[in-house]
Each structure stands twice: as C-alpha cells, then as structure tokens.
Chains A and B, each alone.
Chain A
Amino acid sequence: MAAKDYIRERFFPHLWCPGCGHGTVLNALLRAVESLGIGKNEIVMVSGIGCSSRISGYLDFHTLHTLHGRALAFATGVKLSRPELNLIVPMGDGDALAIGGNHFIHAARRNIDITALVLNNRIYGMTGGQYSPLSGAGVLATTAPYRNIDRSFDVIKIAEAAGATFVARSTTYHARELAKIIKQAIEHKGFSLVEVMSQCPTYFGRKNQQGGALEMLQLFKEQTASIGSKAMQEHPEIIGRGVFVNKKAPEYCQEYEAIVARATSA
C-alpha cells in the first residue's frame, strides 16, 4: 500500500501554514506505518486540540479528535478495551505537557502500549503564538512580549522519569531518521514517546527572528546531534537525537489480564 492510501485526500490541502513542520511529521508517520504493513482498521489515532491534533483528520484510520490535553486519557480507554489495536497519539507541546501534563505522566507510569508523539514547536500555534511549557526562558511570544521567564521542560527526562519504556527524539529536518524512530516506537510494547522538534515559522520563527522554515530547519541540523556522537561529546549544549530509552517492562493491558486471571480463579 502506498502512503497516499492512508490519507483522506478530500481534506487536502491541509490547514497548516506554509513551512509548518507538522506535514513532515505526518509524512514520516505514514512511512513508518507503511513499512510496518499495519492495516488501516488496526490503528486508532487519538489527538487533542491544537495544530498537531489536526493530523488525525487527514488520516484514514479510526480517528478520535478529543479535548485539549486529554488525548492520552481517551486513548487509555480505547486501548484497555481493545489491546490488539495500535494506538497512536499525536499531541502538541502545550497539549501534552501543560494542560495534559498529568495524563502524560500517568500514561507513561502505567506503561500502557500507546505511541505518543509530541510535536514540539515551542509555541501555541492555533491560538496565535503564546508561550508554552517548552518555549524556554528568553523566548519571545505573544504573551511574552518582554521575553519569557518560564523555564522549559525536558520531555525526554520527564517521560523517562515517569516510566515510559521507549523514549526518543528527532526533528523534522531528519525526516528519514524520524520515520525509523516512529516505526520503532509503534513496534515497542509499552508506552513510547517520540519528541519531534517541529518548526513554526509563522509564530515561533517570526517572533524570535529565526527566519523562515528553511532557516529553522537549518537550526535543527546545527543544534542537534545523534546521542553518543563525537559532536555531542565536544559540545554538551547540543540537543541529542535518537533513542534515549528502550527497555522491557510489564505492559498495562497484559498486567490487567493477570488481574482477570486472579479474579476468575479466586
């Protein structure tokens, strides 16, 4: 099946701004799904609210477009009901880590077999460029006209500390690497988190004089390196890319089967 067979073509062109990175994430995601050969009826995509959440509408899976921050809670209900289905949850940085922060850490803690993608453009795009918990101090935003004083989260560290058993990061510049990482994340049995650094030239780039999409992509190239690489050792300020955590631990739905076994044998 070609990647275009996974999309709902009648909804294109999409609503994202010219130069937005989210289309690249959609592309990488479809390549991952295609290479895994998963049937369209076997995927449930659950999204929240924001630019990133609109991915679900464009894809020909079972799609559940939910409430701001709550995607993982809805996804937990679907997954526990039908553990054989593949749950993919694209979220924005504000969606997943601000309003949805509690659901994020608890889904990771349960190690429920859901693939969470955080499309991190460091800004609330849909509402017009306000700062998010991943903007970081010093950033300009429509609600930070004198520069942001809020420190930012490290999604990778939060996910690992909360109990996610697959944790990775890539960028929209590294689209092929991203597709491979998403593929690994979907294959992983347990809660997997992929942070994708995605450019928002309309708000983040413009407000912070980073130029257009091309210049922002260039920054992703310059400011990141594969973890364990020589560049990372020489320049510790560089942002690491790759798989940070990949381990086995009891998965929630399987553990629930164990509860059922104990309850029914009692």
Chain B
Amino acid sequence: MAGVNKTVAGVNKFVQGNEACVEGALYAGLTFFAGYPITPSSEIAELLSVRLPKNRCCFIQMEDEIASICAIIGASLAGNKVMTATSGPGFSLMQEGLGYGIMAEVPCVIVNVMRGGPSTGLPTGPSQGDVNQARWGTHGDHAIVALTASNHQDIFHITVEAFNIAETYRTPVVLLFDEVLGHMRERIVVPKPGELPLVDRLKTEVKQGVDYHPYLPREDGRLPMSDFGGVHRYNVTGLFHDMWGFPTNSPQVVHGLLRHLTDKIENNINAITHYKEHCLDDAEVVMISYGSSARSALHVVANRRSRGERIGLLELQTLWPFPAELVREKCAQAKRVVVVEMNMGQILGAVKQAVAKPDRVTLANRIDGQFITPTDIRNILRLIQGRGV
C-alpha cells in the first residue's frame, strides 16, 4: 500500500492526548501503524484503524508487541513512515526490536503512554516510571531519543518532531506520554499543511548499477536510503555490519559503527533538545518537570509568582539525550532545584549529574498511581523551605 496521508487542517478539536498524538502522526506523514491493544494507549490504535485505511495506508493489529515493532521496522524499510504505540508491559517486549532499529538505523516512532509499574502495575493509573527504561531498556551501549510534552497542542507538535528526528538521524524515537495526558481532553488546532516543517525520507540518488552504500554516512552525517523493492539490493542486519550492511567482526568497523550510532545523536543534542521555560530569569527556586507533572508545576509557578516568590519552571520536552548543559545553565543561579516527576527520581539522577551543586536538588514526586497535584508540590516546597505543610 502506497497511500498518502491527508489531515484536516485548521480544525479546532476537543480531543484526548492519544488523539492529539494520532493527529500529529498523520500530519507528519504516517503511512503504516502496527500495534497491540494495551491500556492506556489503545485509543491510538483504534483511531488509526479508522484513519489510515481512508488514506489508503496500512493499519495492522499484530499478535503481540514484539511483532508490532518488528512489523513497523519491516514497513519502514519498504518506504513507509511508521509508528507503534504501547504502554509499560508492551514497551518491555519491544526492547529487542528497539535495539534492532537502533543498530540497523531504521526510522520509526514508538509511543509509550506510561502507566504504573513494574509488571502489570496500574493499567489505568498515571506514572512516569519508564523514563530510564526508554534510555537503557535495550541491551548494549547506544544512544536514544525520547521526547514528551505536557499539553495536547504540544503533544501534536512533539509527535511531528519525533517523525522528523527519526527521518533525519535514521533512528527510532520514543514518545513518552502518560495516562493523564493520554486520556484527558483538551483543545487542539491542527496546523495547515506546510505550517510545520516536515522531514521526508532521504532517498539515495545513486543510480542503478552503481555501488550503493546504505551505511556510509554523507558529509552531513545523514544516510540516504533505498526502499526494499527498489533498484539497490543490500543487507540489513542486527549484527555489527560494514557500509554495505554485511556482518563483520572487524574491530575497526565495530568501533566505528558504535561511535557513529552514539555520536549521530549526542553530537546533535542542540538540534534534538526541545524545552520550555517559565519565569526562570530571576528564579531562586527552579523546578524541572516534564509530561503531565509539568502542568501542576506550572500551576504552582503561576500561583506563587502572584505572591512574589521567585520560582520558575524548566519544562523538558527532550528527556534523552539528556540536555545536561541546558539544565546546568538554567540552574546556575538557583538556591534550590526541585525535580517534579511521577516516579522515584529517574530524571532527578540526570539533573544531579548535570548541575554544579547536586546537594541543592530535591525530588517532589508521587508514586501511588495518582496524579501529582499543585497541592502536593506546594506541600513538598514548604517542607524543603522549612515552613512545614
């Protein structure tokens, strides 16, 4: 199926976060989705089962999450922009395929609408407990891109950006949303076509009969692709491979490939980093948050600023690669840094490593399957400041 996606631009919609993600994916040019039902992400599959066939594009429900990520990788190599969506248990099953996508440099987007874990955990309760799994869930040294957002318009935009990053760097990109974002309803406006920049698949210009190197980066680091079924026949493997895609044990080639896979992400951290800041200029207390937690943190900032407190928020949209320099810079003048997240401190660790004075960093969290509220954060702030609840 070689369909073209059509989105309805300019439409003002009142949607769940999962639907905002669907709209963003369609805007970005999604043409193939494979998935397996799991709460709280299932609406993404349901909505795409309606929309994709209308655009002559592919939707398939696979036998499990392992098969889902494998199917989208196969479909990407056949020329599609691809996505799958899941939650914690399914994301665990996808780690094998995620590593394959990294090694074989296959553009794809993996949505994880996080719920409480470990194991089956809290299927309908919010959590941000998969942040470190997104970073290190698949085995071996590797770089990863993981993005998030805190409201539905931003979910739309960051989903488009996930596809753009996947295509630019030929890499899997993880979108980490959570149950609150996925199920809450909010207004979005779908931008007009052309309003947001889109990165299309970079195809090789090498002619038929001329040696094509699928794994030889151009000077700008990008690797032009050739679709399966095209004029260039090459090999794709999860083994360490040479510039033609054939397996090798050569220490030089192995070293070079692992460096390439890591550097192509880490060296472009400025281009990949997305964030928002609120009232940071004179902030003595800097809160760092992301996803739905950042909504409560932002509420606290607005509330306390009106009372004259010097408090601000750094909202991260790129979690991995971790924007350590940005965090260090934004926290340089802070007397206190408070990381707000719904887990036991997964971004807290990265923040402590990034800042000059890690002893000034505190965690404001909630891990009981309930959304962290502004009141929760305010109470923790009062404790930190020695004022009691």
Interface residues of A (CB under 8 A from B): 11, 40-42, 44, 46, 56-57, 60-67, 70, 73-78, 80-85, 102-103, 106, 256, 259-260, 262-264, 266
Whether B327 is near chain A, meaning CB under 8 Å from some CB there, is no
Encode B227-247 as 1/0 by CB contact (under 8 A) with A.
011110111111100000011
Interface centre among B53, B100, B228 (most CB of A within 10 A): B228
Q: Give 28 A-B contacts (CB < 8 Å), ordered by A residue.
A: A11-B246, A41-B233, A44-B229, A46-B74, A62-B233, A62-B234, A64-B74, A64-B236, A65-B236, A65-B247, A67-B238, A73-B63, A73-B71, A73-B74, A74-B70, A74-B71, A77-B82, A78-B78, A81-B1, A81-B32, A81-B74, A82-B2, A85-B78, A85-B229, A256-B1, A259-B53, A260-B56, A264-B53
CB distance B67 to A44 under 8 Å? no
- Residue in A closest to B60 when the chains form the complex, CB atoms: A80
CB distance B233 to A61 under 8 Å? yes
A41 partner, pick from B1, B53, B231, B235, beta carbons under 8 A: B231
A-B contact count (CB 8 A): 134
| Size class of the B contact interface (CB-based, 8 Å) | 35 or more
CB distance B228 to A66 under 8 Å? no
Residues of A within 8 A of B238 (CB): 65-67
CB distance B53 to A63 under 8 Å? no
- Residue in B closest to A106 when the chains form the complex, CB atoms: B63
Residues of B within 8 A of A73 (CB): 62-63, 66-68, 70-71, 74
CB distance B56 to A77 under 8 Å? no
Whether B172 is near chain A, meaning CB under 8 Å from some CB there, is no
CB distance A67 to B235 under 8 Å? no
- Residue in A closest to B75 when the chains form the complex, CB atoms: A77
Whether B261 is near chain A, meaning CB under 8 Å from some CB there, is no
CB distance B64 to A62 under 8 Å? no
* Given pairs A76-B71, A77-B82, 16 additional interface contacts (CB within 8 A): A40-B233, A57-B246, A60-B233, A65-B236, A65-B247, A67-B238, A70-B67, A73-B66, A77-B71, A77-B78, A78-B78, A81-B79, A84-B229, A260-B56, A262-B53, A263-B54
CB distance A76 to B62 under 8 Å? yes
A76 partner, pick from B54, B67, B229, beta carbons under 8 A: B67
Whether B83 is near chain A, meaning CB under 8 Å from some CB there, is no
Whether B363 is near chain A, meaning CB under 8 Å from some CB there, is no
Query: Distance (Å) between the CB of A155 and the closest chain B CB?
Result: 18
Whether B380 is near chain A, meaning CB under 8 Å from some CB there, is no
- Residue in A closest to B231 when the chains form the complex, CB atoms: A41
A77 partner, pick from B34, B50, B229, beta carbons under 8 A: B34
CB distance A62 to B67 under 8 Å? no
Residues of B within 8 A of A259 (CB): 53
> How distant is the Cα of A23 from the Cα of B75 in the complex, in angstroms?
29
The answer to whether residues A77 and B70 also contact, given A103-B63, A264-B56 and a CB cut-off of 8 A, is yes
Query: Distance (Å) between the CB of A16 and the closest chain B CB?
Result: 15
CB distance B236 to A106 under 8 Å? no
The answer to whether residues A67 and B228 also contact, given A77-B34, A264-B53 and a CB cut-off of 8 A, is no
Query: Distance (Å) between the CB of B59 and the closest chain A CB?
Result: 8
Interface centre among B54, B74, B100, B228 (most CB of A within 10 A): B74
The answer to whether residues A75 and B67 also contact, given A67-B238, A81-B32, A85-B228 and a CB cut-off of 8 A, is no
Whether B331 is near chain A, meaning CB under 8 Å from some CB there, is no
Q: B-side binding surface: helix, strand, loop or mixed?
A: mixed
Residues of A within 8 A of B337 (CB): none
A63 partner, pick from B50, B70, B236, beta carbons under 8 A: B236
> How distant is the Cα of A81 from the Cα of B230 in the complex, in angstroms?
13
Q: A-side binding surface: helix, strand, loop or mixed?
A: helix
CB distance B235 to A56 under 8 Å? yes
Residues of B within 8 A of A74 (CB): 70-71, 73-74
CB distance A67 to B53 under 8 Å? no
Residues of B within 8 A of A46 (CB): 74
- Shortest beta-carbon contacts, A-B, top 5: A77-B74, A77-B71, A263-B53, A81-B78, A73-B70
A103 partner, pick from B56, B67, B230, B237, beta carbons under 8 A: B67
CB distance B236 to A67 under 8 Å? no
The answer to whether residues A78 and B1 also contact, given A44-B229, A64-B228, A85-B229 and a CB cut-off of 8 A, is no
Residues of B within 8 A of A64 (CB): 74, 77, 228, 235-236
Whether B128 is near chain A, meaning CB under 8 Å from some CB there, is no
CB distance B75 to A78 under 8 Å? yes
The answer to whether residues A70 and B247 also contact, given A78-B78, A81-B32 and a CB cut-off of 8 A, is no
A264 partner, pick from B54, B68, B234, beta carbons under 8 A: B54
> How distant is the Cα of A260 from the Cα of B238 in the complex, in angstroms?
34
B22-69 CB contacts (< 8 Å) to partner A? 32, 34, 50, 53-54, 56, 58, 60, 62-64, 66-68
Whether B296 is near chain A, meaning CB under 8 Å from some CB there, is no
> How distant is the Cα of A44 from the Cα of B77 in the complex, in angstroms?
11
B67 partner, pick from A106, A256, A263, beta carbons under 8 A: A106
> How distant is the Cα of A65 from the Cα of B96 in the complex, in angstroms?
14
- Residue in B closest to A40 when the chains form the complex, CB atoms: B233
Encode B76-103 as 1/0 by CB contact (under 8 A) with A.
1111101000000000000011001000
> How distant is the Cα of A70 from the Cα of B233 in the complex, in angstroms?
21
Query: Distance (Å) between the CB of A260 and the closest chain B CB?
Result: 5
- Residue in A closest to B80 when the chains form the complex, CB atoms: A81
CB distance B229 to A82 under 8 Å? yes
- Residue in A closest to B230 when the chains form the complex, CB atoms: A41
Whether B158 is near chain A, meaning CB under 8 Å from some CB there, is no
CB distance A65 to B239 under 8 Å? yes
> How distant is the Cα of A14 from the Cα of B132 in the complex, in angstroms?
41
- Residue in A closest to B63 when the chains form the complex, CB atoms: A106
Query: Distance (Å) between the CB of A161 and the closest chain B CB?
Result: 16
Residues of B within 8 A of A66 (CB): 70, 100, 238
Whether B72 is near chain A, meaning CB under 8 Å from some CB there, is yes
- Residue in B closest to A262 when the chains form the complex, CB atoms: B53
Residues of B within 8 A of A77 (CB): 32, 34, 60, 70-76, 78, 82
- Residue in A closest to B54 when the chains form the complex, CB atoms: A263
Residues of A within 8 A of B77 (CB): 64, 78
- Residue in B closest to A62 when the chains form the complex, CB atoms: B228
